[in-house]
Structure 1
Amino acid sequence: MFSITASAQNVPDTLEQRLKACTSCHGAQGRAGTDGYYPRIAGKPEGYLFNQLKNFRDGKRTFPMMTYMVANMSDDYLREIATYFSNQHPPYAAPQKPDMSPALLERGRVLVLHGDQDKKIPACVACHGQKLTGLAPFVPGIAGLPKDYLIAQLGAWQTGTRHAAAPDCMQLIANKLGPEDVAALSGWLAMQYVADGGVAAVFKGNPKGDYPLACGSIPGS
C-alpha cells in the first residue's frame, strides 16, 4: 500500500527544495515565468534581493502571496534565500517586442540613457549601471524586464503601495513620470538585450558622490 508518510519523508530537506515555492512563479532558478509579469530574480544582487524580501515581510511592498510566504521568516533565512538566487545565472529570455510608436520608444531611450533635466529625472543608467545590469550589492538590473512588470512597479511607487527605506529615491523619481513616460521607458527597457549574462557590476565608487540622489536602500548615498 502506498504510504503518504513514507513518500513525504523521501523529499530532501534542502534549500533548493524549499524554494520551489518561489520558482513556481519566478521560474526555474528564478529566471522568470512566461507570463510577462513575475520578474526574474536570478542573478540580482544579494543586497537588493534581501531588501525586497524584508520589504515584503515588513509591509513596505504589498503582494499577498509574497507577504504570506515571508511573514514569519527571520533576517538570516531571508538572506540565505537572497544569496541562493543571487548565485543563479540561467540564460535570459529573448527581449520583448512591444507594439509602440517610434516616438514613444525614442522617449524611453532618452529617459533611460539621459533622463529629463526639465523634470529633474536622472537617467536610469546613473544608478542601474551603463549596461543596465545593476550595481552590486544593492541596485538591480532593469534591462529585459517584462513591460507589464515595470509599469506595475512604477505605478506602485506612484500610488504609495511600494516603499523602500527613506529617502525613497525611486518613489521620488516615479512621481515625476507621466503616463507616457512610464509606458515609454518600460517598453524600451523590455526590448533590450541583456549584456554580460545579466551579471551586476560591483560598485566601487563613493555612494554619496556617484549616485544622483540619496537613496535609503543604498547605505552612505
Structure 2
Amino acid sequence: MEARTLACVGCHGDKGRGVANVYFPRLAGKPAGYLYNQLIAFQEGRRRYAPMNYLLAYLPPAYLKQMADYFAAQSPAPLAVTAPAAPPATIAQGQQIVSKGLPDKKIPACTACHGTALTGREPGIPGLLGLRTDYVSAQLGAWRYGTRTALAPDCMQIVASTLSEPEVAAVSAYLATLPVPQQDKPVAADTTQLPMACGSQNPHAAEAKP
C-alpha cells in the first residue's frame, strides 16, 4: 500500500504525515472511518476538489478502505506550529468556542466531539491539531456554502453555518496555535453520547460498500 499511495505523497507528505502547504492536511493517524468517509465523499462529489475527485473516481470502495486503514495506522510526526497573525482577543474568543461552545447558539464545544485533547474520536471524527488557520477556515467555509457535505445528519454543516465569519476566524486562529502532541491518537470508540447527531460517526458509515 505504501507503493500504491505514492501519488498522495506530493500533497500529504510521506506516509501522509503532512507538508508545509497550508491547504493540504496530514492523513497519518486519523481515524480510518473518517478517512474512508472522506475518500467516498470525494468520489461521490460531496467534497469538491478536482485532483482528488479525479484520482478516486474509479477506485472500488474496498480499495479505498485499505487506503484509509493504511494512513490511519501511520504514526503522525509532530508538525511545527506557526503562530497565526491574529489579535490576542481573537485567539481568546476561539479558545472559548473550542472549549466551551456557544450555548446561546446551541453550538457545543469542539472538544465535546473531537475529544478533550482534540485528537479525534473513533470511528469517524478527526483530530483538529496540526491544521493551519487557512485550512480550517476553508473547510468551515466549504460547509457553510455547501461545497463540502457529510453523511446526514451533517452536524458540521449545522455548526459551520451557525458560526459567524468572525467566529470562524477565531476558531481557525486558535486551533492553529495548538501544538501536536507526541501521542496524537484519536479517542477509542465508546458509548459517549455526542451533543449532536452526526451521520459520519455512525459505525456503519466506515464499512466498505459491496
Q: What is the 5 A alignment of 1:130-141?
A: 130-141=116-127
Q: CA deviation at 1:196?
A: 4.5
Q: Give the TM-score taking structure 2 as reference length.
A: 0.94
Unaligned ranges ≥5, structure 2: 204-210
Task: Name which structure has the greater RCO, CA cutoff 8 Å, separation 6+.
Answer: 2
Question: Which of residues 38, 43, 63 is equivalent to 2:29?
Answer: 43
**Greater Rg, structure 1 or structure 2?**
1
Partner of 2:44: 58
The Cα offsets for residues 80-112 of structure 1, whole Å up to 9 and x where unpaired, read as: 000000011131212220011111000000000
Question: Which of residues 177, 199, 202 is equivalent to 1:219?
Answer: 202
Partner of 1:3: none
Q: What is the 5 A alignment of 1:135-150?
A: 135-150=121-136
Task: Please say if 1:122 is aligned against 2:105.
Answer: no
CA distance in 2, matches of 1:158, 1:147: 16
CA distance in 1, matches of 2:143, 2:184: 24
Whether contact under 8 Å (1:158, 1:171) holds in the other structure is yes
Unaligned ranges ≥5, structure 1: 1-14
Q: What is the 5 A alignment of 1:11-160?
A: 15-160=1-146
SS in 2 for 1:96: coil
Q: Percent identity?
A: 46
RMSD across aligned C-alpha pairs, in angstroms?
A: 1.1
Whether contact under 8 Å (1:92, 1:197) holds in the other structure is no
Q: CA deviation at 1:195?
A: 2.8
Whether contact under 8 Å (2:79, 2:179) holds in the other structure is no
Q: Deviation above 3 Å: which 4+ runs of structure 1?
A: none
CA distance in 2, matches of 1:93, 1:158: 28
Whether contact under 8 Å (1:96, 1:190) holds in the other structure is yes
CA distance in 2, matches of 1:91, 1:50: 21
